[in-house]
Amino acid sequence: MSWKASARHGVREAPGGFALVQELLNTRPAMSYAPDLLASVEDAQWWVTDALGLWSHVSGLPGPTLLLSVADLRSMRRLRTAFEHVVTAGASPEMDEALLPPADVQVSLVPDGAGWVRVVPTGRGVRWLASALWAEALLAQQAGMWPRLKLCNNQACRAAFFDTSRNNSGVWHDVSTCGNTANLRAFRERRRMLGHEHQ
C-alpha cells in the first residue's frame, strides 16, 4: 500500500496519518511527469478514495466515502493552497499572518479504551477531509514532526517530502534530479559572472 500522489515523486513519506497532509500537497502538478490530481472529478475521486482508505488503515479511524462534485474540487484546491502557505510559513518567518487561512473545522475529542484522548475528524464531504487534515497537522506539530514536511526548493517541482536528515536541512525532494539541476545552474551562473569580471 502506498500513498499514490506522493509515490509519483518517489519521496519519503511522512509517518502515519500525517502522510495525508503530504498526499494533498503532492496532488499538485509537477514538471512534465505529474498532472494535477485535483483538476478533474475523476482523478480527484480516484485519489481521495485511495488516500482515505490508506489514512483509515494507518490511523485506525474510520474514513468516510467522499463523492466529489466540481464545487468540491475548488474547495480541495483552496485547501491544498492553504496547506502550502502553512508549510512554507515555517521556512519564511516573514510570512504575513493575514495570508494564512483560518482552519474553520470541527473535530471531536474521543477517549479510547486505554484512556488516551483521540482527535477524531468530523463533518461531511470536503469539510470532513479538512477536519482530518488540520487534525493531522496539529498532531504532527505536537509530536515535533511538522518542521520536517517541506516543499522541494525547485520551483518547477515543489514536491512535498518528509525530511529525515539528522539536522533537518534537506531542501530538495530528490538531490539527484532537482538538487543537481539547481547546483549546475548556480555553477554556470557563477562561471558566467566570473567571465564578465575578467573581460
Secondary-structure percent of the chain, ordered helix, strand, coil, rounded to 5: 50, 10, 40
Is 136 a member of any domain? yes
Instruction: Reply yes or no on whether the pLDDT at 139 is more than 60.
Output: yes
- Of 29-38, 77-86, 133-142, 156-165, give the lowest mean pLDDT range: 29-38
Task: Please write the tens of the pLDDT for every residue from 43-56.
Answer: 999 999 999 999 99
82 Rama sector, left if φ>0, alpha if ψ -120 to 50, beta otherwise? alpha
Task: Please write the tens of the pLDDT for every residue from 28-41.
Answer: 987 777 899 999 99
Number of domain units in the chain:
1
Is 151 a member of any domain? no
Is 67 a member of any domain? yes
**Residue carrying C-alpha cell 564578465:** 196
Is 71 a member of any domain? yes
Find the angle CA(122)-CA(127)-CA(129) to the nearest 5 degrees: 80
Confidence of residue 179 (pLDDT cuts 50, 70, 90): low
Is 69 a member of any domain? yes
Q: Quick one: cell of 85?
A: 502557505
Is 65 a member of any domain? yes
Q: Using CB atoms within 10 A of its CB, is residue 118 exposed (0-12), middle (13-18) or buried (19+)?
A: middle
Parent domain of 33: 4-146
Is 185 a member of any domain? no
Can you give the pLDDT at residue 192?
63
Task: Please write the tens of the pLDDT for every residue from 78-112.
Answer: 999 999 988 988 666 665 555 566 677 888 899 98
Tell me which of 52 and 183 has the higher pLDDT: 52
Is 87 a member of any domain? yes
